[in-house]
Structure 1
Amino acid sequence: MDILIAGVSTRGLVESAVRSGLHHRIVAVDYFGDFDLGLLCTYRSIKNDLRLPYDAHHLIPASSGLAWGALAYVANLENHPSVVEVMADGKPILGNSPAVLVSVRDPARFFGFLVRAGIPAPKIAFCSKPPKLDSNIPWLRKPLRSGGGHEIAVHLPGDRLEPGFLLQEYLDGLPCGAVFAADGRDACLLGISEQLIGRTEFGTDGFRYCGSILGSTGAGQTEWGDLVGSIRQVIRAITREFHLVGVNGVDFILKGKTVYPLEINPRYTASMELVEWAYGLNIFKTHLEACQGRLPGFDLLAHPDMGCFGKAILFASRALIFHDPRWWFDQGARDLPLEGEQIAQGKPVCTVFSRGQSRSECYDRLTRAAAEIEWTCLHATTSVWQQA
């Protein structure tokens, strides 16, 4: 079967598909058109082929003329169910249907369900001065179509809440993510990671997502078992309520020992390639099988502590020109720009990876790898390849 993978950045799921050994022909459309995506499959890029800024609707003309028989999608198409429906044009959708996306991405319905189910959740509000708004509670302004921490900010008293935004109670805890496979009735937990948010070491700030560290989140064996048990209950309840299928993610705050779900990402997520790396569980194959009603026989607690696995997205601290993508690819970096591509300040450069016995060792290796790439782009007068 020929499968189209679409979204803002498709390299991760495409790489998993190619590695799966299932022999599907993969084609892709995304914004970036990364160097390493071109090593994997035929693709079209909004940025390089259409010469347009990113808009999910631009994926539709980008896919025109490509031959494929089924559609799989990644971020941020969960926020654009109508685009998913138009792109599919009656062909099979390998993942959650547009109707499911509309339902699970509706904050009022999602948080309403959490409250009814007795699952701890932050308070939310849809106007800047709602009745009984507690002035002692810190609030965040968050887009209704959220993703990657974009446009999230602290909401101050007197601030106006623009259309398309909601208020969400700010919880002081550890930002985390869990990934799972679902068959519409039940779910299998695949991994838990700490989310890296607004880290200046990777060229960003605020609430911007810039990476993940997969591991036991610093918990002891008993605490880890309790956390896994709590998240399993949450994902099973959410799966039954919203009929999720395939691989999905849930963002949550871990405050003490309590899990506070923030949102569901009903598609492939950034931390899933760490799960694949750590546990040898092919995510693309798991996704297809879950869509067909088969969950993996995987028990997260059966895997001993193998240390930490990390990835970080490097954002440019200043404008730079990228060189030698093939050399950096061979060093293990991914999502690489094309040779000579100009990257504006604040835009993503590439993704780096690391492994360590501890969280701090893993994180330090990520920061060193990111710093090396940016320093080379900013200071090298000749290419790394020529210098090597």
Structure 2
Amino acid sequence: GVGCRVARTRSELDWGEGLIYQEVVAGRPASVSVISDGKEARALAANEQLIGESWTGAAGFRYCGNITPLEPHPESDIAGMAEGIVSRLGLVGSNGVDFLLTEEGAVVVEVNCRFQGSLDSVQCATGVNLFQAHLNSFRGVLPERPAIICSAGRAILYASRPLKIKERLLFPWTADVPRPGSRAERGDPFISVLARGSNREEVVSRLRERGDLVRKALH
């Protein structure tokens, strides 16, 4: 979501930047994590995307994490849609499809041919080792659609001011931990926090609490 903005008139587009533009669509951001072998595809989980959440320090269209599974489940079968898209593209390994869930149905935003930011929440919520599933797919072995065993989430924290990390942040529920001596400018992502729980509300509450603990430790 870096650098994304809404252009309401043609004059607001600077054609010298080599822009990619899309129609603005109002909806709930979601994604589906998929493993594929070039012919078939298997959806592992549908995820809520966290976009521009102020409690993470993000704004606008900045991606700031995921909650797995997507709650409540949408009426449209985005898992099936994602499987169809990935298999038709002939992709192999771990892939993701991003959606916006609108009143008229699901709208595809993009396909990510790589490990996705939802990796931590998907592994925790399903118990599936995504790296092993990725390797297995190159041998034509795909997992079954897994059962959801819990709700899980990852939130990316953004710096509200310039930061210098003086010492290692030793929390058991963090990821992407910066090295001591590293710096983050205002608006830069600097660490991720992880949480699990019995439902979405519990996971978001724990992510917010842990985000506050990290910021207090920095102060």
- Using the size of structure 2 for normalisation, the TM-score is 0.91
- SS in structure 2 at match of 1:191: strand
| Residue number in structure 1 paired with 2:44 | 190
In the alignment, does 2:69 pair up with 1:215? Answer: yes
Q: Distance in 2 between matches of 1:359 and 1:256?
A: 22
Note the alpha carbon deviations across 1:39-58, whole angstroms, 9 max, x for none: xxxxxxxxxxxxxxxxxxxx
Cα distance, 1:167 vs structure 2: 2.3
Q: Distance in 2 between matches of 1:345 and 1:332?
A: 23
| Residue number in structure 1 paired with 2:5 | 153
- Structure 2 unaligned blocks of 5 or more: none
| Residue number in structure 2 paired with 1:332 | 173
Structure 2 CA distance for partners of 1:200 and 1:275, relative to 1, 3 Å: same
Q: Distance in 2 between matches of 1:311 and 1:240?
A: 27
Note the alpha carbon deviations across 1:310-365, whole angstroms, 9 max, x for none: 1101111011222442623xx22111111232222111111001122222221121
Between the two proteins, the alignment pairs up a number of residues equal to 217
| Residue number in structure 2 paired with 1:252 | 99
Q: Distance in 1 between matches of 2:97 and 2:69?
A: 16
Match of 1:354 among 195, 203, 208: 195
On the 8 A contact 2:43/2:83 being kept in 1, the answer is: no
The equivalences for 1:215-254 within 5 A come to 215-219=69-73, 226-227=75-76, 230-254=77-101
Residue identity (%): 32
Cα distance, 1:231 vs structure 2: 2.3
C-alpha RMSD of the superposition: 1.8
On the 8 A contact 2:95/2:114 being kept in 1, the answer is: yes
| Residue number in structure 2 paired with 1:322 | 165
The equivalences for 1:108-147 within 5 A come to none
Match of 1:263 among 110, 126, 145: 110
| Residue number in structure 2 paired with 1:13 | none
| Residue number in structure 2 paired with 1:273 | 120
| Residue number in structure 2 paired with 1:364 | 205
Q: Which letter does structure 2 place at the counterpart of 1:199? A: E
Cα distance, 1:196 vs structure 2: 0.6
Q: Which letter does structure 1 place at the counterpart of 2:66? A: S
Cα distance, 1:307 vs structure 2: 4.2
Rg bigger for which structure?
Answer: 1
Match of 1:299 among 125, 145, 153: 145
Structure 2 CA distance for partners of 1:333 and 1:232, relative to 1, 3 Å: closer
Judging by fraction of residues, say which structure has more helix: 1
| Residue number in structure 2 paired with 1:180 | 34
- Structure 1 unaligned blocks of 5 or more: 1-148, 379-388
Q: Distance in 2 between matches of 1:236 and 1:360?
A: 28
Q: Distance in 1 between matches of 2:151 and 2:167?
A: 29
Q: Distance in 2 between matches of 1:200 and 1:240?
A: 36
- SS in structure 1 at match of 2:187: coil
Q: Distance in 2 between matches of 1:185 and 1:191?
A: 19
Q: Which letter does structure 2 place at the counterpart of 1:260? A: V
Q: Which letter does structure 1 place at the counterpart of 2:49? A: Q
Q: Which letter does structure 2 place at the counterpart of 1:352? A: V
Q: Which letter does structure 1 place at the counterpart of 2:39? A: R
Cα distance, 1:291 vs structure 2: 2.0
Q: Distance in 1 between matches of 2:94 and 2:87?
A: 14
On the 8 A contact 1:251/1:262 being kept in 2, the answer is: yes
On the 8 A contact 1:179/1:249 being kept in 2, the answer is: yes
Q: Which letter does structure 1 place at the counterpart of 2:40? A: D
Cα distance, 1:190 vs structure 2: 0.6
Q: Which letter does structure 2 place at the counterpart of 1:316? A: A
| Residue number in structure 2 paired with 1:58 | none
Q: Distance in 2 between matches of 1:338 and 1:289?
A: 33
Structure 2 CA distance for partners of 1:377 and 1:244, relative to 1, 3 Å: same
Note the alpha carbon deviations across 1:161-183, whole angstroms, 9 max, x for none: 43421321111111011100011
Judging by fraction of residues, say which structure has more strand: 2
Q: Distance in 2 between matches of 1:323 and 1:257?
A: 49
Runs of 4 or more off by more than 3 Å in structure 1? none
Structure 2 CA distance for partners of 1:232 and 1:313, relative to 1, 3 Å: closer
Q: Distance in 1 between matches of 2:176 and 2:162?
A: 18
| Residue number in structure 2 paired with 1:72 | none
Q: Which letter does structure 2 place at the counterpart of 1:361? A: E
